[in-house]
Amino acid sequence: MAIFDTTSITAIGLGIGSAAALFALHRLRVQPTTKTIATLLFWRQAVQQQKTRVLPGKFSHPLTYLLLVAIALLLAMSLIGDQWQTTTTAGPTAIVIDAGYTMAAATPGGQSRLAEAQRRAADEVRRSGDVSLIAAGARARLLSAFSDPRAQFDDQLNRIQLHNTSPDSASALQLAFSLLPQDHGRVIWYTDQPAVPEWLPTTIASRIRVEHLDAAVTDAAIIGVIYESSATDAATGRLRVRVGATPDIKHPLSLKASPAAGAVQTFTVPSGSESEVTIEGVIADGATWTLQLIDAPGLPGNDTVTVRLPKHSAVTFRFHGNVPEPVRAALLAIGTQAQDDAPAAIDVMLDDAAAPKNVHSVLRLITVGSTQTPSGAKLRFAADTDEGLTLDDIVLAAGPALSENASPVLRAGDVVVAAMNKSLDSRRELRLSSALWDTGSNLPKKAAFPVLMQRFSRQLAGWSEARSLPGDRILADPLWADDERQFQTLVYSRPPEAAARSAVPVVEETTAETAKGSWPVLELLLAAALTLLTAEGLLLATRKIV
């Protein structure tokens, strides 16, 4: 046995010398000054990583000191490791290099996993006897046999190319063992796969040494991103990001969310086969967000997605030829945009069966009928869409022309769209401008406007918060006439159940509405109408005509 040969004595001498030097450093270390402070909380977190890296920290604890001595001994032994290896490692060695696409990922050192495998294999063969080289790419390839010269091994090792597929590890290991004698020899497998496959027989698995390269390759990906508007404001909401991962991933992942403008946010993804991260406070401004799932640095794979948020501040319309110019003007007046080539535009047409069907959405306005009353024309019509949203019939008190007493509440450019009129019997009523009204066809020239009114009235009816006038104005307000009692329900604070008991004929909803936010156009129109009309203190009466 050569345990106490010359090289061993040299190693022991080096170890003792190193231990002596470390002991001297331990004794001569700078003694820290003692200080009482308010809290150690932040210092504890600050030095958590630093303590093991700083020289005084290493020597301050006897156990650490002993550990360092042991390390020094091991270093000394490694200097003569080649000689020991050759005497302790018996039999041939088959080197299997994983050449799958994930080996292109970078290690923390900056080089690829393949380069790291090549470096380690080159070190290994220097202290091994007979070696062979197998690349596990799309298929297993023998690059250097045991009988080939070592120079060929080195040359083939450096020329391994990655394949854009998963490695055929089974064939590569099978090939490696077919080259080895049955009773001895070993396989060194350089791979980023997490462990020796379970399907390998135990007798074979025990002869494989797996050299792991970096963390296991993740199979996690972003599988869905949904924007949900908030209940109170369609323009803000949250992003729900669903992440899927294979069961072998036990550690939490990170999700980096990068908006087009603004700070990058990082979230921790809970471990699990399927989990979710919610990003709150997202503004639906049409911006593009990049979401990146991070497991290990440089991880390959489809772990980055780009999502484009909806844009609620402006909705584009595509007008068809049969849409009257006033309709176009009305829609533009409330903040929408006209765009002929918008891929997600809302197509607007009037009751046109020949309209194209392959469009994103269609808003149709259908005239149902009208009657004449002493106070003006009453129009009845409905709106329909190809998404199944049917708006109720509505009636608007409308006059053919604005009177002198009318005060404008809504303008489209220079045109007064709607006005508040005080009639001869001192009743207030909403009147549509004559510019909106075609008395010949009984069609509203501003066809979209009644839709806004219908939505607005329903919103009024649903109010639970007080919109009350000051007490002194109650008595002075002409709306208290008996035939206008419904304004009390609409305008004054009443709990919903009380409003229901009052049986005032306000708008009756008979059809289901699509979920909030699923029809952003109408939500936008409603918001615009609310802003314009409530700013003028407008009161709106709507009744269902039987």
Partner 1 sequence: MAELFPPSFLTAIGSLSIHIKRAAPRALHGAHQSPSSGASLEFRDYQPYTAGDDLRRVDWNIFQRTRHLFLRRYEHPTSVPIHVLIDSSKSMLLESPSRYATAARLAAAIASASINSQNTVAVSVLGNDRATQTRRVTGRPQFMQLLADLSEHRPRGDSSLLAIHRVLQRRASARGVVVVISDFFDNDGIESALGSLRRIPDRLVLLRITQPWDANPRLQHADHAADLIDCESNQRLVVSPSGEVYDRYVEAYQRFFGALDQFANSRGARSAVFDASQETIPQLQHIFPAGVLTL
State the residues that interact with partner 1 by CB under 8 A.
30-47, 49-50, 54, 56-57, 60, 468, 470-471, 474-475, 480, 488, 492-494, 498, 501
Least Cβ distance, residue 330 to partner 1 (angstroms): 35
Least Cβ distance, residue 211 to partner 1 (angstroms): 32
The nearer residue to partner 1, 341 or 497, going by C-beta atoms, is 497
Least Cβ distance, residue 61 to partner 1 (angstroms): 9
Interatomic CA distance for residues 426 and 481, integer angstroms? 10
The nearer residue to partner 1, 56 or 462, going by C-beta atoms, is 56
The nearer residue to partner 1, 149 or 471, going by C-beta atoms, is 471
Long-range contacts of the stretch 111-114 (C-beta < 8 A, 24+):
113/192, 113/213, 113/214, 114/160, 114/162
Interatomic CA distance for residues 191 and 196, integer angstroms? 10
The nearer residue to partner 1, 9 or 54, going by C-beta atoms, is 54
* Cβ 216 vs Cβ 193: under 8 Å: yes
Paired sense of beta strands 253-259 and 288-294, if any? antiparallel
CA distances from 350 to 328, 343, 381, 501 (A): 12, 21, 12, 38
Least Cβ distance, residue 265 to partner 1 (angstroms): 14
The full DSSP string for 9-26 is HHHHHHHHHHHHHHHHHH
The nearer residue to partner 1, 1 or 37, going by C-beta atoms, is 37
* Cβ 152 vs Cβ 131: under 8 Å: no
The nearer residue to partner 1, 57 or 92, going by C-beta atoms, is 57
Least Cβ distance, residue 459 to partner 1 (angstroms): 20
Residues contacting 544, CB < 8 A, separation 6+: 392, 393, 395, 505, 507, 508
Interatomic CA distance for residues 464 and 454, integer angstroms? 18
- CA angle centred on 511, ends 509 and 512, rounded to 5°: 105
The nearer residue to partner 1, 126 or 467, going by C-beta atoms, is 467
Interatomic CA distance for residues 411 and 389, integer angstroms? 28
Radius of gyration of the chain (CA): 40
CB atoms within 10 A of CB 253: 22
Least Cβ distance, residue 541 to partner 1 (angstroms): 17
The nearer residue to partner 1, 27 or 35, going by C-beta atoms, is 35
The nearer residue to partner 1, 36 or 182, going by C-beta atoms, is 36
The nearer residue to partner 1, 278 or 493, going by C-beta atoms, is 493
Least Cβ distance, residue 59 to partner 1 (angstroms): 11
Q: Residue 436: left (phi > 0), alpha (psi -120 to 50), or beta? A: alpha
CB atoms within 10 A of CB 222: 20
Paired sense of beta strands 361-373 and 376-385, if any? antiparallel
Least Cβ distance, residue 475 to partner 1 (angstroms): 7
Least Cβ distance, residue 62 to partner 1 (angstroms): 14
Nearest in space to 336 (alpha carbons), one of 310, 356, 317, 355: 317
Burial class (CB in 10 A: 0-12, 13-18, 19+), 273: exposed
* Cβ 28 vs Cβ 59: under 8 Å: no
- Six token digits for residue 202: 């135990």
The nearer residue to partner 1, 92 or 252, going by C-beta atoms, is 252
Interatomic CA distance for residues 544 and 375, integer angstroms? 17
Least Cβ distance, residue 294 to partner 1 (angstroms): 20
Least Cβ distance, residue 63 to partner 1 (angstroms): 15
